[in-house]
Amino acid sequence: MSGDRNSVISPPPSSRPGRVLIGITGGIAAYKVCEIVSTLAKSGVEVRSILTSGAREFIAPLTISTLSRHPAYTDADFWSPTRGRPLHIELGEWADLFAIAPLTANTLAKLATGMADNLLTNTVLASRCPLLLAPAMNTDMWEQPTTQRNWREILGDPRVWGLEPGSGILACDRVGSGRMAEPAQLLSWIDSLLYTGGRRDLQGKRVLISAGGTREHLDPVRFIGNPATGKMGIALAQAAVSRGAEVTLVCAAIAPHLLTTLGGVRAIAVTTAAQMQQVMLDEFETADLTIMSAAVADVKPASYSPEKLPKRSLPEAIALEPVPDIVAELGKRKQPHQTLVGFAAQTGDIVTPALDKLRRKQLDAIVANPIDKSGAGFGSDTNWAVAIDSQERQQKIEPCSKLELAHRLFDFLSLNTVGIHT
């Protein structure tokens, strides 16, 4: 791609809060939607909602209308003779994203066959925006061949995104699959689909991401590590899967609750740099795009005690030895069709050391981000960065959520590197 070295690439316009239509059907998981509606409304997203007659048996329209700051629609509104323009047409054209949660087996069957016998199903047919579905039902109902056939059928529609139910204790006391995706996961998908508009620009691509901070143990309870939480890597995985990619996340020392936001991502847990190196090398050969966002230790104790060392036995000085340089090894093995991206977490001048790393490690791009600024770096929910491609052109990504930064990085890569969209 043409361009002057060290030139600044203009970023795309900032994303703005969008318009989300929430459909609620008759399942006990309807209570979880309250958190979703409230969170969206507080963030500035415009929220409208439709409750089926079954949903009203579980949650009151007044609850949803109060949380969304807007009336909640029911079939009584659909059949009202006092309206001018048809309500399902207005709502279908208004929405940037349509999410149905929980999705019952009954409504799933209607969607799969194109039925339209209430406000919700009519609005689905009258809309063209991305449709996000989150089923919830008893295990036997979910596993029925007819339900699975309907699920496969609706997922064949290119506008449809589906979050398969998880496993756990259900309201019927059954332990098995059928739990609706948790609110945090649904919110992440909503944010992503609002950003992309439902683009599947990574469809058919295999994306490999490392996340978290490795730990090098002196004994079973003491280790050399760093403050990395894996939030940036998780955001990258969320963004990639929402764009249609097949994603593998190699994660080190990530709190389990953070992983609950992921859906459709294959996660492999590791602890040490050596373990991460082995998994990354094993997975790298089939990856189209690899992003090394993990904070990997630079050194490890030269010796390891399999039993906890008494305090009196701790050495006054710990002998250290280097650990594998994973991204450098990946750079040596990279094939022409592959794209390799590194991260450089820095204090002070973040660009100069990132450029050095970009050159030395044969990267296609690097993301320089500060760890000494408020609202950025380890553990924060927000971040900012400077993305640099192999021709050393730079784009500053202003402070934003880590999920938005992940999407902006993928936009940057699609415009300025080779291999991921060809």
325 carries a ligand binding annotation: yes
Give ∠ CA 293-1-232 in degrees, rounded to 5: 15
Cβ atoms within 10 Å, residue 332: 9
What is d(CA 52, CA 299) in angstroms, rounded to the nearest whole number?
58
What is d(CA 55, CA 50) in angstroms, rounded to the nearest whole number?
9
343 carries a ligand binding annotation: yes
Task: Let me know if 400 is a catalytic residue.
Answer: no
310 carries a ligand binding annotation: no
331, 240, 344: which is closest to 295 by C-alpha? 344
324 carries a ligand binding annotation: yes
Name the β-bridge partners of 252: 212, 270
The continuous run of DSSP H or E covering 179 comes out as strand 175-179
110 carries a ligand binding annotation: no
118, 59, 61, 56: which is closest to 91 by C-alpha? 118
Write 328-337 long-range contacts (CB < 8 A, 24+).
Answer: 328/360, 328/361, 328/362, 329/277, 329/281, 330/280, 330/281, 330/284, 330/290, 330/292, 331/361, 331/362, 331/363, 332/362, 333/281, 333/284, 333/285, 334/362, 336/419, 337/288, 337/419
326 carries a ligand binding annotation: yes
What is d(CA 165, CA 206) in angstroms, rounded to the nearest whole number?
23
Is residue 73 within 8 A of residue 91, CB to CB? The reply is yes
357 carries a ligand binding annotation: yes
Which of 34, 129, 172, 251 is an active site residue? 172
What are the residue numbers of the active site? 172
Binding-site annotation, residues: 298, 308, 324-327, 343, 357, 361
Binding-site annotation, residues for CTP: 298, 308, 324-327, 343, 357, 361
